[in-house]
Chain A
Amino acid sequence: MPHADVVVIGAGLSGLVAAARLAETGATVTLVAKGHASTHWGAGGLDVAAPVGAGTPAEGVARLAAEDHPYSFLGPDVAPSVAWLLERLEASGLPYAGTLDTPIRRVPTAIGGTRRVAIVPAAQAAALRPWDRDELLVVAGPAGFKDFWPAAIADSLGRESVWQGADRPSHVTGVSVELAGIADRNNLNAMHLARRFDDPAQRADDIGRFAAAVRKAAGGRPGRVAVPAVFGLGEHAEAWEELRARLPLEPFEIPLVPPSIPGMRLWHVLRERIRAAGGRVQIGEAVHRIHVEGGRVIAVEMEAAARTHLIRTEALIMATGGLAGGGLVATGDGHIVEPLLNLHVDAPEHDAWLVADALDPSGHPIEAAGIATDAGLRPLAHDGRTVALANVLVAGALLAGQRSLRERCGDGIAVASGWRAANELATDAARTPIGREPLAVRTDQ
């Protein structure tokens, strides 16, 4: 039977960070997941903490740490874990801009709104710089692309209100760029475009057309260019460098609806780091049973391609996500359950799950549902004191007490908890080293 020191369930940011960190420390780690997760439907940045009133992520963390919030015990790990991750992303050719002390700024979105960020991929970094009074913003996207409408975005960003009091460009204009061969595509999506920009010859032509259109729209005025986040997947660095070199104004990417290209870049880097350090990543395998013996998890059972796999393990990291990710499930009778281990879930009363307005700035109480843990991320039983299972740790959106939409803290919790979970177990693994035999499993995907 295959064996791993640690099995991580879930391929979102917390699971990826936990597995990458563990693999670096020499533990044998296998990450299993039923599919892609938060990376593929987020914006690709690192939202650490931007509650209302916080000027920087560090301030946001401090503010949330004072509440009944995962940062109340994860707080000290935020800075080292984020630094660790940013260093590795940079080393892998996917640099990010911003730190925990970078001012939180409003950047444009793909429907012409704004959102508050501080740490973003380098390709989104130009949006973070304050706007000078005379600066123009050109919104440029491929004609016929249904997930990015330059005219609509420009119309909306031309309004003071969406900037919510922040500085903003003096003028916003939208241009549609006719790319060769797009006209006969009747279903063009972000992936198609990203692959086009991975092709050097195609990219040279496409970027030339972008440059011409932007030059015409800008008319020599100073400013910046917003483009959809589709500039390359495998060759993003090259595509981005080429775009920057040839455009008359500095560009930044705006993330789109899923699938998120910036998130996929992040996913690819982290997966490669896990693999390079000897870990395994198995996507498309839904865990359907976890074997527990004597208060400890001993094996994880997955179903894939109509047969089951069993991995024996010394420890388990539950990075299965919250309600959106499927790590928590509403049963239909007013209860929220954690379906794999039936861990005790802290959740508000049924009647209080959702407030009346979908867009209420305070968010919905149900967002805070999750698993309460001790400071070592071990899940607590119903009594709120006893550790439910000795060798299980909880990370990411499954943790109770976060309202990540309102607080914009989901990525920070994922990174800090994934990192801490890995550190806790790495210490254990170091005490009982286990041989690195190849596991009898297929490659992922």
Chain B
Amino acid sequence: MAVPHTVDVLVIGGGATGAGVLRDLARRGLKSVLVERSDFGTGTTGRYHGLLHSGGRYVGKDKLAARECIDENRVLRRIAPASIEDTGGYFVATPDDPDDYVEAFAENCGLSGVDFDEVRVADLLAREPALNPKIRRAFRTPDGSIEPWQLIESTLADAKRHGSTALTYHRVVGMELIGNRISEVTLRDERTGTVSRVWTRFVVSAAGAWAGQIAALANVAVEMTPGKGTMLIYNHRMTDAVINRCHRSSDGDIMVPVHTVAILGTTDIKVPDPDEYEITRAEVVRLVSEGAKMFPDLPRMRILRAYAGVRPLYQPPADAVPGVGNRSISRAHAILDHADQGVENFVSIVGGKLTTHRLMAEQTVDVVAAKMGVTTRCTTAEEMLPGQEAGHTYWLGHRLADHEEEGGGDAALLCECELVDRRMVDTYLDTHWPCSIDDVRRGTRVGMGPCQGAFCTFRVAGLVAERLDQHTAATGLPAPGAHVVDGHGPGTGALHAAIADRALTGFLRERFKGTRPIAEGRQLQELMMTNGIYVGVLGLDSMASAPAPAVDEESLHAAR
């Protein structure tokens, strides 16, 4: 998709917040463009633990945040029902949780407007037998799990329906100021290197943990305190409901069932650079030992992978002490009007949570609209988003039913863990092409189940190559997107292969980053077996040591 020449507002950042801002702007009649340096939902949004907050985690220390969560929880259930699994949640008082917190919990929920019921522990244990039998009290709250990529896709679809556009792989590299206003923003296409300029009346930065880097382009200081949160993916759902410890939020105190797996969160460690951090074994050990207070058998359960996201925490820098935990910083968001720093048409939205992204967008656009003289009110809480018509999230059973019903030669199961068949991948490719294999993963959950892509990544790569070759055979032309690497390879086949290579070696290497800190027991065995297959039988090392293609895996986005 071409970069527009002039827009009302340029939104930076393709996470949930940026998508929400673009949608809200579009619905208020402001023709806008969103630019994202990578793919949508690859930053903090795509690396979070899957929780739709009830607000219960914040009732003790931040009642405003708690109230925002419960309000937005209700809104999201209405506008994005297909992205949410209504698992329900429980706050459980383990023997390690302080009495005063537990006793005040109900009252605090009441004060924050968070719905709750105290349930009998025996009933809870009957429902969730993996829980600690020594739990003393339990409160039911309307937590859930939420699928971020589908949510972003729906949100952007609504924005597009209202005349706006969104571009992936476009990095903001410069801002021109005329007087005290940004007049022009310079973008670089990360795949082609092509530089383009957009005239804009207003700029909204929804770059999250990267907001400081963006603001610096307009000579504005925004001090972010990126907080790394490490999470562990377990190979099964040991609980069908979200489980929280009933205490002041800390490490390893929440388990969220997400599709076929369950995710234990989190740690919170200040990191200097949101792009550079690693997961340590010490963090994993701490998460598991804390998590075992909720699920005593946790140390014997199988971890598939560790991963981390970076929270976009904001606080004036004086309060941030390096190396100290971040949990006291507000999760609530802030809208920074940079007119205070001498740039009239530039706002950053920082902090916040996925659950409140729509509210953050609304409040941001209220500020922007007022400054631009637009009086249309916000309507984003009212209608169901496009693509959410199913009204409920799918379970594996739904997929199995579809698969059985469809049958047919095109329905080969490519991903046995998540029941993704060829028809689903073909449909995704038909509607999203050109796209990367990693996009297919986010779009269909192929490779997100217990085998973590070991047996399906090469199948998707094979399918993509087959389609590309069919296109070339039928038309005599390189497949769309292939022009990006003209001059870099001996032919289209080499390009198709490079795409597959990147997906495979990238998959194995990326996955390894997440399995290395948890390589114990069965998972170390699995790691050795996967390496044995990929190196021993499939010779992946011969491809990994090939000269790096001149473009990255996402080259196929070029024609989007």
Question: Chain A interface (Cβ within 8 Å of chain B)?
Answer: 41-43, 47, 106, 109-115, 143-156, 158-159, 161-164, 172, 174, 176, 182-188, 255-258, 260, 322-324, 326, 329-332, 353-354, 356-359, 361, 364, 366-367, 404-405, 408, 410
Task: Answer yes or no: B465 CB below 8 A from chain A CBs.
Answer: yes
Flag if B538 contacts A156 (CB, 8 Å).
no
Q: Please, which residues of chain A bring their CB within 8 A of the CB of B421?
A: 186
A343 shortest CB reach to chain B, Å: 18
Given A144-B410, A162-B542, 16 more pairs with CB closer than 8 A? A41-B529, A113-B540, A146-B414, A146-B459, A151-B496, A155-B497, A156-B501, A158-B497, A164-B542, A185-B409, A186-B412, A258-B533, A330-B521, A331-B520, A354-B512, A405-B535
- Whether A359 touches B521, Cβ cut-off 8 Å, given contacts A42-B536, A158-B494, A162-B542, is no
| Interface mask (B453-492 → A, CB under 8 Å = 1, otherwise 0) | 0010011011111101110000000000000000001110
* Bound CA span A146–B532, Å: 20
* Bound CA span A159–B492, Å: 11
Task: Answer yes or no: B524 CB below 8 A from chain A CBs.
Answer: yes
* Bound CA span A172–B466, Å: 14
Flag if A147 contacts B465 (CB, 8 Å).
no
Q: Please, which residues of chain A bring their CB within 8 A of the CB of B543?
A: 111-113, 156, 161-162
* Bound CA span A332–B521, Å: 6
B555 shortest CB reach to chain A, Å: 15
| Interface mask (B391-433 → A, CB under 8 Å = 1, otherwise 0) | 0000000000001001111111110000001100000000000
Q: Please, which residues of chain B bring their CB within 8 A of the CB of A145?
A: 412
- Whether A147 touches B459, Cβ cut-off 8 Å, given contacts A113-B540, A152-B465, A186-B409, is yes
Task: Answer yes or no: B354 CB below 8 A from chain A CBs.
Answer: no
Binds A, one of B181-189, B247-255, B502-510: B502-510
**In-complex Cβ contact of B540 among A111, A184, A186 (8 A):** A111
Flag if A257 contacts B537 (CB, 8 Å).
yes
Q: List 10 A-B contacts (CB under 8 A).
A: A109-B537, A110-B458, A111-B540, A146-B412, A148-B462, A149-B458, A159-B494, A186-B409, A356-B516, A405-B536
Binds A, one of B40-48, B345-353, B544-552: B544-552
Q: Please, which residues of chain B bring their CB within 8 A of the CB of A258?
A: 533
Q: Please, which residues of chain B bring their CB within 8 A of the CB of A410?
A: 536
Flag if A358 contacts B469 (CB, 8 Å).
no
* Bound CA span A13–B191, Å: 48
Residue of B nearest to A38 (CB): B532
Q: Please, which residues of chain B bring their CB within 8 A of the CB of A42?
A: 532, 536-537
Flag if A159 contacts B466 (CB, 8 Å).
no
Q: Please, which residues of chain A bring their CB within 8 A of the CB of B489?
A: 159
**In-complex Cβ contact of B413 among A47, A186, A260, A326 (8 A):** A186
Q: Please, which residues of chain A bring their CB within 8 A of the CB of B463?
A: 149
| Interface mask (B498-534 → A, CB under 8 Å = 1, otherwise 0) | 0011001100110110001001110011001101110
Flag if A159 contacts B497 (CB, 8 Å).
yes
| Among all A-B residue pairs, the 8 with the closest Cβ atoms | A149-B462, A358-B512, A152-B465, A113-B539, A183-B409, A161-B546, A115-B539, A324-B528
Q: Please, which residues of chain B bring their CB within 8 A of the CB of A182?
A: 409
A85 shortest CB reach to chain B, Å: 19
Residue of B nearest to A164 (CB): B542
Q: Please, which residues of chain A bring their CB within 8 A of the CB of B411?
A: 186
Task: Answer yes or no: B541 CB below 8 A from chain A CBs.
Answer: yes
Residue of B nearest to A47 (CB): B536
Flag if A155 contacts B537 (CB, 8 Å).
no
* Bound CA span A160–B542, Å: 11
**In-complex Cβ contact of B493 among A149, A154, A255, A364 (8 A):** A154
Q: Please, which residues of chain B bring their CB within 8 A of the CB of A187?
A: 412-413
* Bound CA span A256–B525, Å: 20
A205 shortest CB reach to chain B, Å: 17
Q: Please, which residues of chain A bring their CB within 8 A of the CB of B129?
A: none
- Whether A330 touches B519, Cβ cut-off 8 Å, given contacts A158-B497, A186-B413, is yes
Flag if A155 contacts B496 (CB, 8 Å).
yes
**In-complex Cβ contact of B491 among A158, A257, A404 (8 A):** A158
Task: Answer yes or no: B98 CB below 8 A from chain A CBs.
Answer: no
* Bound CA span A184–B407, Å: 7
Q: Please, which residues of chain B bring their CB within 8 A of the CB of A110?
A: 458, 537-538
* Bound CA span A186–B20, Å: 39
Residue of A nearest to B510 (CB): A358
Flag if B540 contacts A359 (CB, 8 Å).
yes
Residue of A nearest to B501 (CB): A156
A396 shortest CB reach to chain B, Å: 14
B465 shortest CB reach to chain A, Å: 3
Q: Please, which residues of chain A bring their CB within 8 A of the CB of B133?
A: none
Flag if A162 contacts B537 (CB, 8 Å).
no
Q: Please, which residues of chain B bring their CB within 8 A of the CB of A356?
A: 516
* Bound CA span A442–B250, Å: 55
- Whether A146 touches B407, Cβ cut-off 8 Å, given contacts A158-B494, A358-B531, is no
Flag if A357 contacts B509 (CB, 8 Å).
yes
Flag if A330 contacts B520 (CB, 8 Å).
yes
B435 shortest CB reach to chain A, Å: 17
- Whether A158 touches B493, Cβ cut-off 8 Å, given contacts A41-B533, A152-B500, A332-B521, is yes
Flag if A361 contacts B529 (CB, 8 Å).
no
- Whether A359 touches B533, Cβ cut-off 8 Å, given contacts A111-B538, A155-B496, A330-B519, is no
Which of A113, A114, A153, A322 counts the most B-chain CB atoms under 10 A from its CB? A113
Task: Answer yes or no: B95 CB below 8 A from chain A CBs.
Answer: no
* Bound CA span A355–B52, Å: 37
* Bound CA span A9–B460, Å: 38
Flag if B461 contacts A113 (CB, 8 Å).
no
Task: Answer yes or no: B299 CB below 8 A from chain A CBs.
Answer: yes
Which of A147, A172, A260 counts the most B-chain CB atoms under 10 A from its CB? A147
Residue of B nearest to A113 (CB): B539
Q: Please, which residues of chain B bring their CB within 8 A of the CB of A364?
A: 531
Q: Please, which residues of chain A bring their CB within 8 A of the CB of B458?
A: 110-111, 149, 257
* Bound CA span A112–B412, Å: 21
Q: Please, which residues of chain B bring their CB within 8 A of the CB of A184?
A: 407-409
Q: Please, which residues of chain B bring their CB within 8 A of the CB of A106?
A: 542
Q: Please, which residues of chain A bring their CB within 8 A of the CB of B511?
A: 358
A166 shortest CB reach to chain B, Å: 10
* Bound CA span A405–B538, Å: 12
Q: Please, which residues of chain B bring their CB within 8 A of the CB of A47?
A: 536
* Bound CA span A150–B463, Å: 10
Flag if A152 contacts B462 (CB, 8 Å).
yes
Flag if A186 contacts B408 (CB, 8 Å).
yes
Flag if A324 contacts B538 (CB, 8 Å).
no
Flag if B537 contacts A354 (CB, 8 Å).
no
